[in-house]
């Protein structure tokens, strides 16, 4: 039995689906179902008795403690987080509540449970914390990619809140001996991603005849990692990652935002052509967001050397498959947006 937190979100949901495609080991899937959590992602598992869904907050120690005592997992994989930089600029308090305070309470719940295990079970237990390359800050166009030894220099409320969680992981391992492993990944893409992020937003706006917004000059560079490759890396870290260590997980796929948007438009021109124009004519440069980091890139030498992992999905293959998925699953995206509106209304209700 393993626990997955945030398992109705984009990466967590893909991980749970991938897990059951490869394993029969049961999963308790914990998600608060905020706007980005979507049970539709988990539809294939609704009749699978090995998948137990529990709606709740990682910061609720009574709730988490009861689940731990009942199910006795051998590992926790923590995907639960607020993740969108733009939202963190507008409402940093939400990110502090989840990514800092919630992470602290989850750690304490897990430490209480872990301390009750027999010595052999304590040694085998793992807490995997899924984090981001953004905790390292920004690179210039000429800088080498971030290694695990890079200084932690976050530059947005989102990345600062995730960096705080990373520091907690290191401290709880050093002070209490909790067998924590942290992974820092680059930008993920693939199916089931909430439509506020660049790739699904571009695809769906294009299909709906809307502008394709590109921040600033469009020359911001990100390293794009297909979510399936990320899931494979996490499984490998769970199998053999060393407690107390950090593993960077990247796609080896740096692209400028404007080039990525043009690539999506070219694929759409082929798969879903318009009668009289290219989708690229819908591109619209918009005012930049505050504190926009110029470039992120990840050095994966450590995880490749120690655990034998490297991305397998080529950038062109991954992008084409992603575009096709959103073309074929527009109902999922529309339902996700509709559910998010209801979630925000419920959250703001007195």
Of 198, 187, 191, the C-alpha closest to 260 is: 198
- DSSP helix/strand/coil, 44: helix
pLDDT at 334: 86
The per-residue pLDDT for range 140-159, each reduced to its tens digit, is 999 999 999 999 999 999 99
pLDDT at 341: 47
pLDDT at 55: 97
Give the sheet arrangement for strand 187-189, strand by strand. 187-189, 221-226, 254-256
- pLDDT beneath 50: ranges in the chain: 341-350
* H or E segment to which residue 327 belongs: helix 315-328
Q: Which residues are catalytic?
A: 133-134, 158
pLDDT at 336: 82
pLDDT at 344: 45
Pairwise CA distance, residues 233 & 250, whole Å? 10
- DSSP helix/strand/coil, 221: strand
Domain 2-194+224-250+297-312 has CATH 3.30.70.2860: no
Tell me the HSE value of 89 on the side-chain side, using a 13 A CA sphere.
9
The per-residue pLDDT for range 196-228, each reduced to its tens digit, is 899 999 999 999 999 999 999 999 999 999 999
Q: Which residue has the tokens 């002070």?
A: 175
């Amino acid at each position: 039995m393993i626990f997955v937190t945030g398992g109705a979100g984009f990466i967590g949901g893909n991980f749970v689906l991938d897990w059951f495609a490869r394993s029969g080991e049961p999963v308790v899937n914990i998600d608060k179902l905020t706007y980005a959590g979507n049970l539709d992602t988990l539809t294939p598992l609704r009749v699978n008795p090995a998948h137990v869904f529990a709606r709740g907050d990682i910061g609720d120690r009574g709730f988490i403690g009861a689940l731990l005592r009942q199910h006795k997992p051998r590992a926790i994989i923590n995907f639960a987080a607020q993740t969108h930089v733009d939202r963190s600029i507008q409402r940093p308090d939400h990110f502090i509540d989840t990514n800092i305070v919630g992470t602290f309470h989850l750690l304490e719940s897990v430490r209480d449970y872990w301390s009750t295990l027999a010595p052999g079970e304590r040694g085998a237990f793992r807490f995997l914390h899924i984090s981001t390359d953004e905790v390292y800050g920004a690179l210039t166009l000429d800088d080498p990619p971030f290694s695990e030894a890079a200084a932690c220099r976050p530059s947005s409320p989102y990345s600062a809140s995730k960096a705080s969680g990373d520091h907690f992981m290191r401290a709880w391992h050093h002070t209490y001996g909790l067998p924590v492993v942290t992974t820092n990944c680059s930008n993920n893409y693939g199916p089931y991603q909430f439509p506020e992020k660049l790739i699904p937003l571009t695809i769906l706006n294009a299909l709906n005849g809307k502008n394709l917004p590109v921040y600033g000059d469009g020359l911001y560079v990100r390293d794009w990692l297909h979510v399936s490759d990320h899931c494979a890396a996490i499984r490998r870290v769970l199998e053999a990652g060393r407690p107390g260590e950090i593993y960077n997980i990247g796609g080896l796929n740096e692209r400028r935002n404007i080039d990525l948007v043009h690539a999506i438009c070219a694929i759409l021109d082929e798969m879903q052509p318009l009668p009289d124009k290219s989708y690229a004519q819908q591109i619209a440069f918009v005012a930049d967001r505050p504190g926009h980091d110029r470039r992120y890139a990840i050095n994966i030498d450590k995880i490749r050397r120690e655990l034998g992992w490297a991305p397998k999905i080529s950038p062109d293959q991954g992008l084409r498959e992603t575009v096709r998925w959103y073309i074929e699953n527009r109902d999922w995206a529309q339902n996700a947006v509709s559910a998010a509106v209801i979630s925000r209304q419920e959250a703001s209700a007195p």
